[in-house]
Amino acid sequence: PRALYGDNRPNSRGLDLASEKHLAALAHSLSHPPPPAWIALPLLGDGERRSGLAVAVHNPGEHDDVVGTVIDASMQDVVDAVAQSVAAAPGWQATLPAQRAEVLDRAAGLLEDHLHPLIGLIVREAGKTMASAVGEVREATDFLRYYAAQLRQPGWSNQTHRAIGPVVCISPWNFPLAIFTGQVAAALAAGNTVLAKPAEQTPLVAAEAVRLLHQALRQVLHEAGVPPAVLQLLPGPGETVGAALVADARIRGVLFTGSTDVARLLQRSLAGRLDEHGRPPVLVAETGGLNAMIVDSSALPEQVVADVLTSAFDSAGQRCSALRLLCLQAEVADAVLTMLKGALHELAIGRPDALRTDVGPVIDEPAREAIEMHVATMRAAGHRVHRLALPPGLNGTFVAPTVIELNDVAELTREVFGPVLHVVRYRQGGLAALVDRINASGYGLTMGLHTRIDETLRLVTARARVGNLYVNRHMVGAVVGVQPFGGEGCSGTGPKAGGPLTLRRLLAQHPVALEAAPGLVEAPARATASPALGALQSWLNGQGLAELAALAQAQGAASPAGLSLLLPGPTGERNTYALVPREAVFTVAGQRDDLLHQLIVVLAAGSRAVWPAADLATALWQALPAVVQERVTLAENGASAAFDAALVSGSDDAVRALALALAQRPGPIVALQSCAPGRRQAGAYALDGLLLERAVSVNTAAAGGNASLMTIG
């Protein structure tokens, strides 16, 4: 429904693919793209048309179909674009939040006005089915309106919310409109200028998105003097154009969606760089996952099979959230697998512009080759492999939907980005150990659970280390503001896209307290304050450190740790959002009071502190109350200890040294916050940067029968 979110924002407009009228319009868009032909070229703030070698962009589902052409940005284009972005930054930051919100709302309206041609372009350039393309335009529209709604929250002003500066947005090909628009919309909403580097495979969709956003800018701010350099497009390879953008010292933030390996390269490129206030650049990275679905013996097999097909094979398995590992309770595994293999043969593989198609192509030949090599390797290792036969006559990069049976979770060591589902069995009583083995992979993006037993739901929810958990439903298609999306560990840095923390991460200054989330259904609830923080506050008063004691009280009152929200959504679905402490925070300071300040922030977040076992830290630890000591770990080699966030107070050289050391660590990317020595005040460190976001979506209409009869207790 259009009014699903009440007065907060309109719901995005869908499309009835059973309507002959709509299908006729879509067919026309596919066969008659709007003139001139689709083209992507560098769009800089000076308005000059860049020249260069025009390269054809082919349809991955029909290689003879030339969708359009792309001209890559040159290194001089990059230099010019960054300079223009820096020059435009003060004017865009000074633009009233209400005007920025109006730009985003106007752009959302333009996307809906161009729904049919956008669907046609996404189908042809990205190889998506029509249903997936409709969903993508809707998601992009929702991103624009969601961030616009945040700008209209009470208390948002340019005096209290300050932008970080020029931001680079590097988007993937699997969601060439939705993720691209979501990144750009968030950065623009926060008042930052944007340099957008789209995926090499899908520059045409990005170019059309930028054209519509520029049109919205002109419509709203035609008299305000805001230059088009607010948003610039720089197509080209990541190794050259993307690397040059990120390497420029004037860039203050990077939004990235892609592989974990590339995210680490970006972290290393940014490491050691500081702004005029001694703060490192912002890196928001959303990376891949080994996304598991757990199915117990109480689940409804017919529903499980339908949700597995959608989760694993929709978009040819090329979703960040796609199901990669199906974990079946051994007692029902054979029956479920038999049904699943039968249902698999009902999938239609073919050109994505055909409405009957369920599974389209993978994006390009390197992707196809990598998937085929993985399947061949697994078959050679003795694993049972079940594949569909590809229909004859296809002229694209197609991969047959595949099911591979494994012996253990640990045999899947990396993300396979395509229509390949791995299946493993687990025994009754082994659920907790199974979740622990999934957690041990280091990835934490999505997880699915099919059960009708409440105790099982509580066990998995408490134990799983994933950003998004889906219960008795499929695992794909997260809705902006309803299921904020993003992972933890090796699956991303946070904050979640389409969630309440994204804009805060893109600000150099913002209020300490977390603003209300747009569209909140019920009042927030939060856990009680940390006993350790209360004990520390009393100890500080006893030591005559009244200012630090007052800071402890203020930070505890402002902390969003333990926040739990019920988000809006359709009937039959319950979506909850919670903020939980990170496991541990590494803190470094050269002065006792600065180290105590960091400890206050860590305890206010509900986390644990890791201190390097230096003389200052050891002496201070020995003087602390026992309940506080229990929340502090002294590490002989601090930089190699286990932690997932870091705080530093010291000279610029000290901040750079720690940033460079963190960038060399294997495993998850560790975000670093810095603070000048002696700057001991609320907000000096962002508390929400020490928290993890967890979203749980439960299909409340799927239990079937009286589930209370099945409770273990």
pLDDT at 712: 52
Name residue, tokens 């001209």. 71
Backbone angles phi, psi at 594, to 5 degrees: -70, -35
Return d(Cα 636, Cα 162) in angstroms, integer: 39
pLDDT of 402: 98
Handedness of CA 636, 638, 640, 644 (dihedral sign): positive
Between 148 and 524, whose confidence is greater? 148
Tokens at 79, concatenated: 């230099």
Pairing of strands 488-489, 62-71: unpaired
Do 71 and 52 meet the contact criterion of CB atoms below 8 Å apart?
yes
Mean pLDDT (whole number) for 416-441: 96
Predicted confidence (pLDDT) at residue 503 exceeds the cutoff of 50: yes
528 compared with 301, residue with greater pLDDT = 301
The residue among 408, 384, 389, 409 whose CA lies nearest residue 399 is 389
Total residue length of the chain:
713
- Per-residue pLDDT of 303-312, as tens digits, reads 999 999 999 9
State the distance between the two ends of the chain, measured CA to CA, in whole angstroms: 40
Give per-residue pLDDT as tens, 356-365: 999 999 999 9
Determine contact, residues 81/228, Cβ cutoff 8 Å. no
Nearest partner of 409 among 293, 297, 286, judged by Cα: 293
**Exposed e or buried b per residue across 203-239, where buried means at least 16 C-beta atoms within 10 angstroms of its C-beta:** bbbbbbbbebbbebbeebbeeeebbbbbbbbbbbebe
Structure confidence at residue 223 (pLDDT): 62
Does residue 521 surpass a pLDDT of 60?
no
Contacts of 113 (CB under 8 A, 6+ apart): none
- Encoding tokens for residue 671? 């975000």
Which of the two residues, 705 and 239, has the higher pLDDT score? Answer: 239
Strand pairing report for 671-675 and 691-699: unpaired
Question: Rounded to whole angstroms, how far apart are CA atoms 118 and 209?
Answer: 9
Q: Are 198 and 224 in contact (CB under 8 A)?
A: no
pLDDT at 520: 57
As a whole number, mean pLDDT of residues 328-348 equals 97
Q: What is d(CA 45, CA 170) in angstroms, rounded to the nearest whole number?
A: 19
Structure tokens at 692: 């993890």
Backbone angles phi, psi at 478, to 5 degrees: -55, 135
- What's the Cα-to-Cα distance from 273 to each of 171, 231, 252, 495, 516, rounded to whole Å? 23, 23, 9, 21, 33
Question: What whole-number distance in Å separates Cα of residue 637 and Cα of residue 680?
Answer: 26
Determine contact, residues 419/401, Cβ cutoff 8 Å: yes
CA–CA separation, 628 and 603 (whole Å) = 9
Q: In the structure, what pLDDT confidence band is assigned to residue 430 with cuts at 50, 70 and 90?
A: very high
Using CB atoms within 10 A of its CB, is residue 145 exposed (0-12), middle (13-18) or buried (19+)? buried
Higher pLDDT, 523 or 668: 668
pLDDT classification of 527: cutoffs 50, 70, 90: low
Q: Is pLDDT at 706 greater than 50 in this prediction? A: no
Helix (H/G/I), strand (E/B), else coil: 244: helix
Specify the DSSP element, H or E, that contains 181: helix 178-189
Amino acid at 125: E
The answer to whether residue 286 is catalytic is yes
By CB neighbour count within 10 A (0-12 exposed, 13-18 middle, 19+ buried), where does 391 fall? exposed
For residues 292 and 438, the answer to whether their CB atoms sit within 8 Å is yes
Contact criterion met (CB below 8 Å) for 133 and 96 = no
* Residue 699, H or E segment: strand 691-699
pLDDT of 30 above 90: no
- Name the percent of the chain lying above pLDDT 90: 84
Q: What is the mean pLDDT of the chain?
A: 93
pLDDT confidence band for 525 (50 / 70 / 90): low
Q: Comparing C-alpha atoms, which of 543, 509, 507 is closest to residue 681?
A: 509
Q: What is the pLDDT of residue 46?
A: 85
Q: Which residue has the tokens 């929400």?
A: 688
**pLDDT class of 630 with cuts at 50, 70, 90:** very high
Radius of gyration of the CA atoms of the chain, in A: 25
The side-by-side arrangement of strands in the sheet containing 62-71 is: 38-40, 62-71, 54-59
pLDDT tens-digit series, residues 92-125? 999 999 999 999 999 999 999 999 999 999 999 9
Strand partners, 71: 54
Residue-level pLDDT at 711: 53
Residue 227: what pLDDT? 75
Q: Is 340 left (phi over 0), alpha (psi -120 to 50) or beta?
A: alpha
Q: What helix, strand, coil percent values describe the chain, rounded to 5?
A: 40, 20, 40
Using DSSP, state whether 647 is helix, strand or coil: strand
- Strand, coil or helix: 562: coil
Q: What is the pLDDT of residues 550-594, one digit of tens each?
A: 999 999 988 989 889 999 888 899 999 999 999 999 999 999 999
pTM: predicted TM-score of the whole model, two decimal places: 0.95
Residue 494's nearest CA partner among 468, 530, 514 is 468
In the annotation, is 331 catalytic?
Answer: no
Query: Mind listing the pLDDT tens digit for each residue in 43-70?
Result: 999 888 888 899 999 999 999 999 999 9
* pLDDT over 70 percentage in the chain: 95
Which of 136, 208, 320, 573 is an active site residue? 320
pLDDT bin (cut points 50, 70, 90) of residue 433 is: very high
Classify the C-alpha dihedral 478-482-487-493 as positive or negative: positive
pLDDT on residue 705: 47
- Residues 88 and 227 sit within 8 Å (Cβ to Cβ): yes
The Cα–Cα gap between 588 and 590 comes to 7
Q: Name the active-site residue from 286, 415, 573, 693.
A: 286
Query: What is the identity of the amino acid at 326?
Result: L
Neighbours of 692 (CB within 10 A): 24
Q: 164-168, 222-226, 265-269, 565-569: lowest mean pLDDT where?
A: 222-226
Q: The tokens 């966030």 sit on which residue?
A: 645
The pLDDT score that the predictor gives to residue 458 is 95
What is the per-residue pLDDT across 154-196, written as a single tens digit (0 to 9) for each?
889 999 999 999 999 999 999 999 999 999 999 999 999 999 9
Placement of tokens 């009957």 in the chain: 356
